[in-house]
Amino acid sequence: MSAAIAAADWDALVRPGAGPLRHGFLEAATRIELAAFEFRPLVLPGGDRGGFAAHAPAYRYDLDLGLFARGGAARALAAVRSAWRRCLVLRVFEVGCPVALCEPFSVASGTDQAAAVEALACAAIDEACRAGASLVIVHDFESKAPRAATRTLARLGFEPVPILPNFVLDLDGRFETFDAYLAAMRSPYRRRARLRLEKAAALRPELLSDFGEDAPVLARLWRAIDDRASEARREILTEPFFRAIDGLAHVRMLALRRPDGSIASFALLYEDGATLRFLYSGFLLEAREEGAYFRLLYEIVRVAIEGRFTRVSLGWTTADPKLDLGARPVPLEAWIHHRRRSHQRAIGRAMRLLLRAEDPRPRHVFREAKS
């Protein structure tokens, strides 16, 4: 973040439930590694005492659309790249948080939202030109939810494209305890959960708000899972990122420790009002044999139930185990703008092709409640 942007002025506009847009969290996000990364927040001056009328996090980087390719599309792209190395690698200007799923625009109370979003979107297009980026991407919006912001983007010539869905577990006070959550499952899912918990019974969960001394281990465990990832990954989480995020209000690290005290797996969590956000995890390959990742997911649910959260946002990777928790997929979209409309349409088609796959369906995890 720019030194000229005061944290108090920035945070004054951040709406409830949009914690990842807060100044401290975004400041930590500038410590990630991303190809050609440069953070360039957008601000609309105004408001009380010289503050802001609206703002949004934004950054320039090189986007490799091949990260989203699957199956035949991935094989075809690999063949093309044998001759054209930077095929579908684009210099982009992106509006949104680089390390969390969150709608990006913050608008002061009493400010016309459509006008503010229009001003920020036009500023993004201008910044993209200055940054040498031909494509602007604004993310992350729930696809089926009406938004004044997306109506404004459409009017400015932006085009919606699908991105991977977020998996959300709705709790809404349905379960007083974690045991009640397990008891409410249909027998196949309850049996699966108990087997997974038993397999990882030797691991001890620990919820921490002070984890800076573990930054080297966390970065190493995250990099191990990133190196194995078959799903979309862009950013690299560094030791400086983990050190910067340590101690921030509402940020927690859930660790599963072995009897010798070493960390088998971890989850980075953000307590965002009524929502518990699962941001990142990490573990070495051998921890899979310990059942560490599955245990981690159930422990996240336990933390949410005991913390009286009504919703768990689980992110967009590893669909199967999250569906087994009872989560539902929430379709997301981004909005793109290219200075050449023909290129915009071609990029939109390419993104839809790369992301084309059978939509994950919610599973009937819980028994019907008796009336």
On whether the CB atoms of residues 182 and 193 are closer than 8 A, the answer is: yes
Nearest CA among 45, 50, 38, 60 for reference residue 120: 45
Give domain limits for the chain: 7-163+331-354, 168-329
**Single-letter residue type at 140:** D
pLDDT of residue 155: 95
* Res 371: pLDDT: 45
Superfamily for domain range 168-329: Gcn5-related N-acetyltransferase (GNAT) (3.40.630.30)
**Contact partners, residue 369, CB within 8 Å, separation at least 6:** none
**Structural element, H or E, at residue 346:** helix 341-354
Q: What phi and psi values does residue 56 have, to the nearest 5 degrees?
A: -155, 140
Intrachain domains 7-163+331-354 and 168-329 with the same fold: yes
Tens place of pLDDT for every residue, the chain, 371 residues?
A: 665 788 999 999 999 999 999 999 999 999 999 888 999 999 999 865 667 999 999 999 988 766 665 566 667 767 766 776 667 678 899 999 999 999 999 999 999 999 999 999 999 999 999 999 989 999 999 887 668 899 999 999 999 998 889 999 999 989 999 999 999 999 999 999 999 999 999 999 999 999 999 999 999 999 988 776 554 556 889 999 999 999 899 999 999 999 999 999 999 999 999 999 999 999 998 898 999 999 999 999 999 999 999 999 999 888 999 999 999 999 999 999 998 889 899 888 877 776 665 578 899 999 986 54
Query: Tell me: domain 7-163+331-354, CATH 3.40.50, correct?
Result: no
Q: Say how far residue 8 (Cα) sits from the centre of its chain.
A: 24
Neighbour count for residue 59 (Cβ, 10 Å):
24
Measured CA distances, 93 to 3, 25, 99, 163 (Å): 21, 20, 15, 17
Beta 263-272 vs 275-283: how paired, if at all? antiparallel
Q: What is the pTM of this model?
A: 0.90
Provide the Cα torsion 71, 75, 76, 79; round to 10°: 170
Output phi, psi for 248, to 5 deg.
-65, 140
pLDDT value, residue 74: 66
